[in-house]
A and B are shown apart, each in its own frame.
Chain A
Amino acid sequence: MDLLTGLLTTAVLAGGVLALAALGEVLAERVGVVNLGVEGLMALGAITGIATVAAVPSPWLGFLAALGVGALFGMVFAAATVLIKANQVLCGLALTLIGNGLSATIGRAYSGMPARATFEGVAIPLLSEIPVIGRAIFSQNLLVYLIYVILPVAVSIVMFRTRHGLNLRAVGENPAAADAAGIPVTLMRFAYVTAGSALAAGAGAYLTLAFVPGWSEGVVAGRGWIAVALVIFAGYRPLAAVLSGLLFGFITALGFVGQARGWPVAPAFLSMLPYLGTMGFIIVPVIAWQRMRRIMAAPAALGLPYYRDVR
């Protein structure tokens, strides 16, 4: 009982970082833009969060500031990839390098300072007393609900249940047809790449304000790349992306618990588990059911810049 509660608690907390970043990447990729800058954006968000709460001790303000900084850098990236139509992979890598370097430089002044304000768990009356899941799910900080429920459900509804969502997906699948139908392709791409970047930076702020409260260089430690991979595994669907983030967090936690309990498995294998597990959970269904293959497919125009005059 305690084992499961502990597992779920860390899984929910740790998975949130990946879930939010992956959700942001879904937005960008659904309109046909690969954003490999997630790692750098997370680093920027992480330092923005810490720097903001150092000035004003409010975690929400820190989170909002990170969203703002993410949007700003997202606009720069969108300007390069959507307006100028530069190579998306190269621009994304450049964004990661800029983000990591800039955050390390700014972070000099903040490293070694514990966050002045953090997101704290809030026990929801009644619900938090349910055995096992009570503590794991209903005693978390409020940001967790935003990441796991409000945002993904909202994105999902907009993306799959509204005309705007249909337009959004059309831009990612066939921008020429979308353009012919009167959908503003460039504006759509610009807006969603920016929004996705904001969420990625928000994931960084969640990391330093709710999970490891403090900045140190390299704190993101490659989670941005995992978020990009999770999007592919999740078949570019918002709910699945968030769930795979949670799953990844769960299996990671399982690896640590396995070591703590002295399971007779090599630690190296246990730390490999999250990657194996996530791949397994997502690849197996695709192989098992043919229909999944179509559902899981990438947007057809992913990674391709759209030139109106050469269609």
Chain B
Amino acid sequence: MIDLRTLSRRGFLNMGALGAASMMLPAGVTRPALAAAPLAPVKEEEAVVAFSHVGPISDEGWTWAHHQGVLAVQEAYPKLKKVLEVENVPYSADATRTFRQFVSEGASVVFDTSSKGDFLYEVVKRSPEVAFLECDGHTVEGNLGWYYIAHWYPTYVLGVAAGHLSKSGRLGYVASFPVPSVFCSTNAFLMGARSVNPKATLQTIVINSWFDPQAAAQAGTALIDNGCDFLFGIMDEAAYLQVAEKRGVWAAMWNTDIRRYGPSAYVSSIIIDFRKFYVDQVGKRLAGTWAPGEFILPLGGGVDRDAWGEKVPKEVAAAADAVRDKILGGWSPFAGEIKDASGAVRLAAGQTMSEKDLYDWDWSIEGISGLNA
């Protein structure tokens, strides 16, 4: 009943709650949608905007990037009555308590920057006058929408660079959990690399954490010892970049520009930027035009590759950027035929994966080992 791989990026720990909830509902019955009455406009001087973060804003990763969005909201709407921000909110009933606190302090918009699932929905149901936005969510209701980033496109672009830069054709990946964003990230990365070097393979090591510098460093070392000469992964810290720098191999990162940890190893990074989205959403809520929906921020509009590292050859950067331009022009690299790790054809030639398919990707393509074990 519970398939690990369909769980969302950060909602992994909600597994138990989701499972229990889905077992209670008879088959085919989903939560009834609320009558969607638009939320009334709010005066800027009276509005409260609230953010709940999974980590510390000093993490220089995921939470830091969302915090930049919070700062942008404060700058765009300086007269807001209050902007609330809570860090290190755990995946537990404490999250529910935090959201309730937001509502009781009069919040008009609540952003959950890491999917808290049922811990959030409980409050959503009871507070129809508040707009909720869940990052990496899966549910849309009268007052709840979700948003994420199309990280697969810049990841493909980094993959192209990796295909050029890796001499051995063996790429290493420091993975957190086998969840869709990691499947999608590994797949897109290897597909990019294979567009250059069809023999490229990708080896993953799962460390069971989004943040564990010691484990990430050890995983990176083990991958390099095993012949990988390009490291990638979705981590909220820079440990494997430091390992790559020391061992003289390439590395690409996530979230922010952290090249100072390994200036010669640094290739690029998946840069996430929620500033415009947050300002837009708050603006709409104030104006009374906010409507719930699914928002996947596109390449160049919330997610992109970082400026290339200093040691990346110009022609490699140019080749990868050419692919980026093609994607910006509307081309999708995620077209059939795509085979899974067992060799079976999962996407027939001529078909293209939709954004939603990519967002929910839960299987590994051919050439990836370690995730589907």
Contact = CB atoms under 8 A, between A and B. Distances in A.
Given A221-B212, A257-B225, A262 B203 contact: yes
Contacts of B56: 104, 111, 217-218
Contacts of A212: 213-214, 217, 239, 242
A221 B215 CA distance: 10
Count class of interface residues, chain A = 35 or more
B238 interface: yes
A116 B242 CA distance: 13
B208 A217 contact: no
B221 A262 contact: no
Contacts of A9: 221
Given A107-B58, A214-B261, A271 B207 contact: yes
B226 A108 contact: no
Contacts of A108: 58
A11 B213 CA distance: 15
A15 to B, nearest CB: 11
Count class of interface residues, chain B = 35 or more
Interface in B249-275: 258, 260-261
A219 B211 CA distance: 8
A146 B207 CA distance: 29
A107 B223 CA distance: 30
B205 interface: yes
B258 A112 contact: yes
* Residue in B207, B225, B239 whose Cβ sees the most chain A Cβ within 10 Å: B225
Given A111-B59, A212-B239, A267 B222 contact: no
Interface string B236-248: 0111001000000
Contact of B218 (A14, A104, A266): A14
A114 interface: yes
A300 B228 CA distance: 52
Contact of B205 (A107, A223, A256, A268): A256
Given A10-B222, A112-B258, A223-B214, A216 B59 contact: yes
Contact of B203 (A10, A17, A260): A260
B261 A114 contact: yes
A261 B60 CA distance: 31
Contacts of B228: 260
Contacts of A252: 215, 218
A265 B370 CA distance: 9
B326 to A, nearest CB: 33
A114 B56 CA distance: 18
Contact of A260 (B58, B222, B239, B260): B222
28 contacts: A6-B225, A7-B225, A9-B221, A10-B218, A104-B56, A108-B58, A111-B59, A112-B58, A114-B238, A114-B242, A114-B260, A212-B217, A214-B237, A214-B238, A218-B211, A223-B214, A252-B215, A252-B218, A256-B222, A259-B205, A259-B206, A259-B222, A260-B219, A260-B223, A260-B370, A261-B226, A262-B203, A268-B206
Interface of B: 55-56, 58-60, 172, 203-209, 211-215, 217-219, 221-223, 225-226, 228, 237-239, 242, 258, 260-261, 369-370, 373
Interface of A: 2-3, 6-7, 9-10, 14, 17, 104, 107-108, 111-112, 114, 207, 211-214, 216-219, 221, 223, 252-253, 256-257, 259-262, 264-268, 271
